[in-house]
Amino acid sequence: MQGCRSIDCYQYLNKIDEGSYGIVYRAKDIKTEEIVAIKKIKLEKEREGFPITALRELNTLISLKHEHIIAVKEVVFGNILSKIFVVMEFMDHELKSIIEDKKINFTHAQNKQLVKSILEAVAFMHERFVFHRDLKTSNLLYSNKGVFKVCDFGLARYFEQPHKIYTNNVVTLWYRAPELLAGQKTYTEAIDVWSVGCIMGELILKETLFPGQSELEMLERIFKFVGNPKEDRWPEWKNLPL
């Protein structure tokens, strides 16, 4: 065991992104000159210590060691103990920005390899009883060397079998499975697989597969695409809350 290092061991290079749970910077390890991503955990509104969302994400990431899942290198502290930073491996691009760049076109072989990599990462999570619950192209990272990683485990959590009731206010709207849109609370890891299907469609079409603006419009778009629910395929659909 050894204590946490200081953030002073790193040199800031530029800000990458800012989300609900923290700000992400590109930085360099002063000693090794390795380029890393550093996430500053937002603690300003926390009266009772470390936020549970950040703790859950850290715990999940540390337990999931896989070639296609972003790795945590260490946790470091700032000039006061309330400033906490998570150091992760750096990736050059979000998959979303690559898809939106009309000048870049993946080959069929590259698309197949990407989907295979996503499914391998998702299978690894599910075998260890972890939902991701927010798979989307902006949470998939890609390096200039062709390395792919799943990131942002802020909504991830461990599940049990048989499945219990969980909050259904998860997954970004465009990647949300129909059972969640219809209000189902006892859902399975299939919700992650639905998101992968939406990502695969986006890779092929170069645009969002179901760009709905509300839950109702999402269901309309999905049913228009795959057909209306049928009793033999989805017997409980009529009993769902929404």
- Catalytic (active-site) positions: 134
Asked whether the beta carbons of 183 and 168 are under 8 A apart, the reply is yes
Residues 6+ apart with CB under 8 A from 82: 43
Which residues sit opposite 79 in a β-bridge? none
CA distance 36 to 26: 6
Furthest-apart CA pair in the chain: how many Å?
62
Q: How far apart are CA 122 and CA 137, in angstroms?
A: 14
In contact, 216 and 208? CB cutoff 8 Å: no
Q: Write out the DSSP string of 42-91.
A: P-TT-SSSS-HHHHHHHHHHHH---TTBPPEEEEEE-SSTT-EEEEEE--
Nearest 5°: the CA angle 53, 167, 185 is 155
| DSSP class of 145 | T
Q: How far apart (Å, rounded) are the C-alpha atoms in residues 172 and 199? A: 12
Q: Which residues are CB-neighbours of 7 under 8 A, at least 6 positions away?
A: 38, 76, 77, 78, 79, 83, 85
